Amino acid sequence: MNITEKEALSRLGDMSVEACSARLVAARQTTGLSQLEVSQQADVANNSLNNMERGRQFPNREIMRYFYRAHRIDFNFLMHGDFAQLPQNVQAALFEKLAGAGSAPDQKSGSD
């Protein structure tokens, strides 16, 4: 995958709630955890994480801190789509999920 494809998939520069939502879903899917598991580990309400993933609200500080500390996915990616600072293995996993977004239903989302 070339840089132009990565920029398009990450929606680089798009800070809309919809773009942040897509990146957040990809981040969670990359971890292999359910919404409930992430919300518990990040110490946020599950309905708040669900709202973030559905594009009803922006990711909050607690979620961004959790993904950075636990999974090396920082706020620059979640909020802006900037992936340059992410480790290569993290980038590869994220872009795999972003490329597959919409092709298969996420069995681990919703109210687990």
Q: In which band, very low, low, confident or very high, does the pLDDT at 39 lie, cut at 50, 70 and 90?
A: very high
The pLDDT-based confidence of 105 (bands split at 50, 70, 90) is: very low
Contact 80, 3 (CB under 8 A): no
Tens of pLDDT, residue by residue over 47-97, are 999 999 999 999 999 999 999 999 999 999 999 999 999 999 999 999 999
Domains and CATH numbers, the chain: 3-99 (1.10.260.40)
Cα separation, 25 vs 80, in Å, equals 14
Query: Computed from CA positions of residues 21, 25, 27, 33, in that sequence, does the dihedral angle turn out positive or negative?
Result: positive
Closest CA to 80 of 11, 21, 6, 4: 11
The model scores a pTM over 0.85: yes
